[in-house]
Structure 1
Amino acid sequence: MRTVVSRLIHSRASISKLNAMTISKSRRHLSTDSNKVDEPFKVEEAETINVPPPPTEKLLVLGGNGFVGSHICREALDHGLSVASLSRSGRSSLHDSWANNVTWHQGNLLSTETWKEALNGVTAVISCVGGFGSNSHMYKINGTANINAVRAASEQGVKRFVYISAADFGVANYLLQGYYEGKRAAETEVLTRFPYGGVILRPGFIYGTRSVGSMKIPLGVIGSPMEMVLQNAGSLSRIPLVGPLFIPPVNVTAVANVAVRAATDPVFPPGIIDVHGIQRYNQRKSK
């Protein structure tokens, strides 16, 4: 019995010594770790990686030195876009400061070789090209010239194409047959070549301040009151033959706003937008 008790006492003593050794070692480790915390923390400098800036949207405005085109150029610049213009006369005669930020190209849409370089790097095109004259001349300017532009832009890989066309005025279509036939032919080409990125705007009378040389003609004096009256007279536009004559005018800034949005917004729906649609899209943007 004494032998068993002696062995138990000896075992307890051994366990106590073992615990003491473990605690001692743990203290040494804690002491060592605390010393390491006190040491200064070394931070290695991260390697610098040159990340290229995001691609810039580049817009080409066909007829950018005209009444509608100049407003579109200015609107696009306000959106931070890189803007270029192509026309037969080249640089705009406007002396406004924004005109210095546009890259001006001179060329003839009827001769693709004279202007195809202007499409380099372009992501969207807005065409304001149009004109009046004989039926053959009107078809050539409103139709053939724009069709050439649509085809060249498509072959160059341009993402979106916006065409400023014209509202259907009924009786006027017969009086300006070449004008409207050319417009509709160009519309067909846009919808065919750009089924997911082609937008056609059909405004009626476009008003705003038009610059002719050093003179400024305030078309808004007539257009603004007419727009206020006719935009709420939708039933009149459905009258046979003369109904289209009651299509309300639209401000040039509204046309420019919607055109730039259609050219740059990837979710903007493709297709034809009439004057009422232009007004709605412009109001949505201004809110």
Structure 2
Amino acid sequence: MKTIMSRLLHSQSSLPRLYTMAVSRNGRLLSTDSNNVDEPFKVEEAETVDVPPPPTEKLLVLGGNGFVGSHVCREALDRGVFVSSISRSGRSSLHDSWANSVVWHQGDLLSPDSWKDALNGVTAVISCVGGFGSNAHMYKINGTANINAIRAAAEQGVKRFVYISAADFGLASYLLKGYYEGKKAAETELLIKFPYGGVIFRPGFIHGTRRVGSMKLPLGVIGAPLEMILQHAKPLNQIPLIGPLFTPPVSVTKVAKVAVRAATDPVFPPGIIDVYGILRYSQQKTA
């Protein structure tokens, strides 16, 4: 028994020697007999590069080379969204640098087969398509063209669809019958096809610097002061017959800002947004 115990004690005393040497990086020796290490173990940190993540939202702007559409494209690009656009003329005639970042498609919304491929991978659509002319022409451009787009987007599984419609000005609605009937038909179709992801904007007069050929029309000179005054005179809008004439104008930059938010923010409420809603949302800070 004593012999066994003496052997155990002898083996325990020799255990530390089993750990006296260990091979470290570069062949250097580490000693466990003391708390000192021949050379500290160094961990080299990898060099990091600040690369922004790829865009997760793919936005298709209908009529992106127009007055409102061009501002929508630029706003979306500023927010890091991938942007493509469809118009009958194709690429925008604008020479601004942002236009080079948009993928331009040429197509006619009245002929869905000419542009359906542009919907591949698209998560949201903003339609800025509209026009004037005869009643039949206005209904076709404001109504039929947008209805075709809404149906095609729904079939493709697009999540959200924002439609830039127009406020009802009462007498103007009667004089521009085809224009407003077309808008209302498109609105109805959108609420049916996109009950949870459809947003309808009803701005009044949209002001800003509008390009007509080589000319620039500074519509903000009139629109901005009226917007400032009439946005605080909402009760006047309720006056019978003439009340709609007091609908405040809104700047094109505000319309674009809120439209892009409505298209890319999954918690933005669906439904109809009037000019007062546009003004309210434009004042809110976004992430």
Q: TM-score, normalised by structure 1?
A: 0.86
Residues 1:25 and 2:5 are matched in the alignment? no
Deviation at 1:21, TM superposition (A): 4.1
| More helix, by proportion | 1
Q: Distance in 1 between matches of 2:13 and 2:218?
A: 91
Residues 1:238 and 2:224 are matched in the alignment? no
Report the 3-state secondary structure (helix = DSSP H, G, I; strand = E; otherwise coil) of the residue aligned with 1:253: helix
Q: Following superposition of structure 1 onto structure 2, how do residues 53-92 of structure 1 map, counting pairs within 5 Å?
A: 56-92=56-92
Deviation at 1:238, TM superposition (A): 0.7
Partner of 2:170: 170
Residues 274/283 of structure 1: CA separation in 2 closer, same or farther (3 Å cut)? same
Deviation at 1:275, TM superposition (A): 0.7
Deviation at 1:124, TM superposition (A): 0.9
Identity of aligned residues (%): 72
Check conservation: 2:86, 2:104, Cα contact below 8 A: yes
Deviation at 1:18, TM superposition (A): 5.9
Between stretches 171-180 and 62-71, larger displacement belongs to 171-180
Check conservation: 2:262, 2:268, Cα contact below 8 A: yes
Letter in 2 for 1:32: L
Report the 3-state secondary structure (helix = DSSP H, G, I; strand = E; otherwise coil) of the residue aligned with 1:216: strand
Between stretches 170-179 and 244-253, larger displacement belongs to 170-179
Report the 3-state secondary structure (helix = DSSP H, G, I; strand = E; otherwise coil) of the residue aligned with 2:285: helix
| Paired residues, number | 261
Q: Distance in 2 between matches of 1:54 and 1:24?
A: 66
Q: Following superposition of structure 1 onto structure 2, how do residues 35-50 of structure 1 map, counting pairs within 5 Å?
A: 35=21, 38-40=22-24
Report the 3-state secondary structure (helix = DSSP H, G, I; strand = E; otherwise coil) of the residue aligned with 2:284: helix
Check conservation: 2:55, 2:81, Cα contact below 8 A: no
Residues 246/286 of structure 1: CA separation in 2 closer, same or farther (3 Å cut)? farther
Report the 3-state secondary structure (helix = DSSP H, G, I; strand = E; otherwise coil) of the residue aligned with 2:86: strand
Partner of 2:41: none
Between stretches 167-176 and 145-154, larger displacement belongs to 167-176
Show CA shifts across 1:176-203 (max 9, x none): 1111111111011111111111111111
Q: TM-score, normalised by structure 2?
A: 0.86
Residues 1:208 and 2:192 are matched in the alignment? no
Show CA shifts across 1:63-85 (max 9, x none): 10100000001111111122111
Q: Following superposition of structure 1 onto structure 2, how do residues 108-257 of structure 1 map, counting pairs within 5 Å?
A: 108-257=108-257
Show CA shifts across 1:206-242 (max 9, x none): 0011112222111111111000100000110110111
Partner of 1:50: none
Q: Distance in 2 between matches of 1:250 and 1:24?
A: 93
Letter in 1 for 2:88: R
Q: Distance in 2 between matches of 1:135 and 1:169?
A: 17
Q: Distance in 2 between matches of 1:284 and 1:23?
A: 78
Check conservation: 2:201, 2:273, Cα contact below 8 A: yes
- In terms of Rg, which structure is larger? 1
Report the 3-state secondary structure (helix = DSSP H, G, I; strand = E; otherwise coil) of the residue aligned with 1:285: coil
Deviation at 1:173, TM superposition (A): 1.4
Check conservation: 2:161, 2:198, Cα contact below 8 A: yes
Q: Distance in 2 between matches of 1:175 and 1:253?
A: 28
Letter in 2 for 1:60: L
Q: Distance in 2 between matches of 1:255 and 1:18?
A: 92
Show CA shifts across 1:20-50 (max 9, x none): 5444322222221343xx32269xxxxxxxx
Q: Distance in 2 between matches of 1:98 and 1:27?
A: 77
Q: Distance in 2 between matches of 1:241 and 1:76?
A: 38
